[in-house]
Amino acid sequence: MLDVADLVTAYGKIEALKGVSLRVESGRITCLLGPNGAGKTTLMMTIAGILQPRRGTVRLDGQELTGLTPARIVAQGVALVPENRLVFPQMSVHENLLAGAYQRRGRGEIASDVERMYARFPRLQERRAQLAGTLSGGEQQMLAVARALMSRPRVLLMDEPSLGLAPLVVAEIFRIVGELNRDGTTIFLVEQNAHMALQVAHHFYLMEQGRVTFSGTPGELAEDEVVQRAYLGARRAAG
Amino acid sequence: MIDFLQNTIDGVMTGASYALLALGFTLIFGVMRRLNLSYGPSIMVGAYLGTLAHLHLAAGPLGVAAVTVAGAVLAGLYVERLCFAPMAAGAGIAAMVSSFAIWMQLEQAAILVLPRHTYPFPPLASATAWLGPFLLRLDQLIMLASALVLALGVQALLYGTRFGLALRAIIGNPTAAHLVGIDVRRATVLAFALASAVGGVAGFLVLASDAQVTPMFGMWATMKGLIAMMIGGLGSIPGALVGGLLLGVVEAQSQWYLGPQLRDLAAYVLLFACLVWRPGGLFGAAPVRDLARGRSL
Ligand SMILES: Nc1ncnc2c1ncn2[C@@H]1O[C@H](COP(=O)(O)OP(=O)(O)O)[C@@H](O)[C@H]1O
Ligand SMILES: [Mg+2]
């Protein structure tokens, strides 16, 4: 569904992506693992059109996204839940959701989608009038997810949704990721928490220093010695 | 006591023009997080075009008002195109410096076209009225009403329309605004045009009440708008209104009691006191909050 081919993105002279190719299959959860500084966020921002690649292409169902503005990419059906959530802090929860539907017309449908979000995220309903900047980290993450869903994306990109959250909240986020996927949303997830990701994702990529260094199923990932030592082992030792 | 109240009335009236200038300034700053030093000079360009229409086409006050506002918008868009559109995110200082360069350019251009120091500007309404012991000027009442109506209008636009939602999203987090599908570039240009139009209205009303225009008007407008905005709080609309009125009253009182030489000094003392007491301005968020918003992209 989403095809990334030979993508190179640079900050000045430094190439953060050095020719990345990967594929996100329709209806699945694809997970991108990798250490800090590997280029995961750069990849997400390039797909979303915030960063312009030097080379390479991003295609959605064969249609070229490269070179489109972020707004056009949203219109094509790609929504990104950015790293650090980036909710609109001075807007209410409700307004954040409306902003998520910015490109859509039809107040009735938008209103019923907002209600659907409140049903899925009851915490947001309780806090609908509260300023988003005053929410807890976990609530802001849910708001960021709900806001992205308000554009009715065909692919949902999520950049480290568990970053900085307590274990119980992380489990809740992953439960929602699984649920969204079962309801038909294609998801491309960036994570450092390999253990949690193993429970939900169908396919894994590993990225290191701007390159994809592994691609495989959860089973293959769990068996890969390098991955095990770097991610699963280290996590187990640490936690 | 009568003097004090009359000064206060005069100050509120003058302050209304500062409030209008600050309103446009604060819109640009809120949306872009950048200072546009050419804000006043682009209003001056509009005013000079208005004067030209007055001199050569015998345009009346309304015609001159329309030309002034349209000219300010065009000059504002020119400044945006040259100083703000090409600058990368994070290049706020470069944008500000280049807006200073364009200031000089606009001023010189105005002097080339109309080389005398002063030109007549058509007065709007010179009627005065006594309200008990107080003297009121009709054109200044119009200025005050315009400031209130435009501030309310901008507030309603920001909080009641889809365009306003887009602007507030950009103010909150530009990257996230892109990500929800807002055409940030287009919304920014429109905000710039709107701010310039508000500035054009301010410029017309001030100059109509002075009945003349000089090339110094650009600097005057930038200074007054900037100080009023900083007192009220960068990016705040109620702040622009209150900051402008407060600045006007303090100037009027100090002119009366301390003399004209100390008037500008009093304005700077007011600004300084406000910034020490509340670094973000009266209605502004403390500046540190912006750092926590993740504006790096
Ligand atoms: N705005 C930026 N300017 C310059 N270099 C950057 C910027 N953002 C990220 N980088 C660099 O690009 C590389 C990849 O960063 P990033 O995509 O954020 O990695 P990840 O999300 O995997 O932690 C890192 O070396 C980082 O230092
Ligand atoms: Mg990252």
Phi, psi of B277 (to 5 degrees): -70, -45
- Separation of alpha carbons B140 and B119, rounded Å: 21
| Tokens standing for residue A198 | 């193993």
pLDDT digits (tens, 9 = 90+) for B39-76: 999 999 999 999 999 999 988 899 999 999 999 999 99
Q: By the 8 A CB rule, do A156 and A188 touch?
A: yes
Give the pLDDT score at A238: 44
Q: Please give the mean pLDDT across all residues of chain A.
A: 92
Q: What is the pLDDT of residue B297?
A: 33
Residue B291 has pLDDT above 70, yes or no: no
Best residue for ligand 1 mutational test, from B175, B295, B296 (most atoms within 8 Å of Cβ): B296
Provide the pairing of β-strand A29-33 with A55-60: unpaired
Give the Å distance between the CA of B76 and the centre of ligand 2.
Answer: 38
Non-local (6+) Cβ contacts of B89 within 8 A are B174, B297
Q: How confident is the model at residue B193 (pLDDT cuts 50, 70, 90)?
A: very high
CA nearest neighbour of A95 among B192, B150, B180: B180
pLDDT at residue A239 is higher than 70: no
Name residue, tokens 């921002």.
A45
Strands A203-208 and A186-191, by their bridges, are unpaired
B64, B207 Cβ separation under 8 angstroms: no
Q: Specify which residues A7 forms β-bridges with.
A: A20
The pLDDT tens digits of the residues spanning A113-157 come to: 999 999 999 999 999 999 999 999 999 999 999 999 999 999 999
Q: Is the pLDDT assigned to residue A234 strictly greater than 70?
A: no
In chain B, which residues have their Cβ closer than 8 Å to the Cβ of A74?
179-181
d(CA A60, CA A40) in angstroms, rounded, equals: 19
- Cβ distance A66 to A56 under 8 Å? yes
User: What is the C-alpha to C-alpha distance for residues A22 and A10, in angstroms, rounded to an integer?
Assistant: 18
Binned at pLDDT 50, 70 and 90, residue A233 comes out as low
Chain B closest CA to A230's CA: distance in Å? 30
Least Cα separation, residue B233 to chain A (angstroms): 15
At B295 the three-state DSSP class reads: coil
d(CA A151, CA B96): 36
- C-alpha to C-alpha distance for A137 and A127, rounded to whole angstroms: 14
- Per DSSP, helices labelled H in A102-183 are 107-120, 122-126, 137-149, 167-182
Q: Give me the pLDDT at residue B93, please.
A: 87
B199 closest CA partner among B52, B49, B18, B11: B18
Instruction: From the CA of A83, give the closest atom in ligand 1.
Output: 21
Model confidence at B296, in pLDDT bands (50, 70, 90)? Answer: very low
Tens-digit pLDDT profile for residues B95-126? 888 889 999 999 999 899 888 889 999 988 87
The winner for highest mean pLDDT among A223-232, B143-152, B179-188 is: B179-188
Q: Residues A50, A70: contact at Cβ < 8 Å?
A: yes
A148 and A100 Cβ atoms separated by less than 8 Å? yes
Q: Would you say residue B289 has pLDDT above 90?
A: no
pLDDT digits (tens, 9 = 90+) for B208-227: 988 999 999 999 999 999 99
B181 contacts in A (CB within 8 Å)? Answer: 70-71, 74-75, 102-103, 151
Atom 25 (ligand 1) nearest CA: A37
Query: What's the CA gap between B71 and B77, in Å, rounded?
Result: 10
Q: Residue A3: name the closest of A54, A50, A69, A47 by CA.
A: A47
Percentage of residues in chain A with pLDDT exceeding 90?
87
For strands B119-120 and B212-213, give the pairing.
Answer: antiparallel
Min Cα distance B15 → chain A (Å) is: 28
Tell me the C-alpha distance between B91 and B84, whole Å.
9
Q: Residue A11 C-alpha to ligand 1 middle, in angstroms?
A: 8
Distance CA B245, CA B19 (A): 6
Please give the ipTM for the structure prediction: 0.93
Mean pLDDT over A210-221 rounds to 92
Percent of chain B at pLDDT exceeding 90: 60
Tell me the pLDDT band of B285, cut-offs 50, 70 and 90. low
Domains of chain B, by residue range, sit at 2-126+136-292
- Average pLDDT over chain B reads 89
Cβ(A39) – ligand 1 distance below 6 Å:
yes
* Mean pLDDT for the stretch of residues B246-259: 93
| Cβ distance of B176 and A87 shorter than 8 Å | yes
Residue B283's pLDDT is 86
For range A66-70, the mean pLDDT? 95
How far, in Å, CA of B177 to CA of B179, rounded?
Answer: 5
Mean pLDDT of A163-182: 92
CATH code reported for the domain at B2-126+136-292:
1.10.3470
- Going by C-alpha positions, the residue among A85, A87, A213 that lies closest to residue A160 is A85
Q: Do A79 and B293 touch (CB under 8 A)?
A: no
Judge contact between B109 and B45, C-beta under 8 A.
yes
- Domain at A2-85+152-232: CATH code: 3.40.50.300
Q: Is the pLDDT of residue B293 over 60?
A: no
pLDDT for B265 beyond 50:
yes
Residue A236 pLDDT greater than 80, yes or no: no
Average pLDDT over residues A13-30: 96
Domain extents in chain A: 2-85+152-232
Please, is B250 exposed, middle or buried when counting C-beta atoms within 10 Å of its C-beta (0-12, 13-18, 19+)?
buried
- CA–CA separation, A4 and A57 (whole Å): 6
Q: pTM of the full predicted structure?
A: 0.88
pLDDT reported for residue B31: 85
Cβ of A82 below 6 Å from ligand 1: no
The per-residue pLDDT for B294 is 39
- The runs of H, that is alpha helices, within chain A are 40-47, 70-76, 93-100, 107-120, 122-126, 137-149, 167-182, 194-200, 218-223, 225-227, 234-238
pLDDT the model gives residue B94 = 87
Average pLDDT score over residue span A196-205 = 93
Cα separation, A135 vs A130, whole angstroms: 8
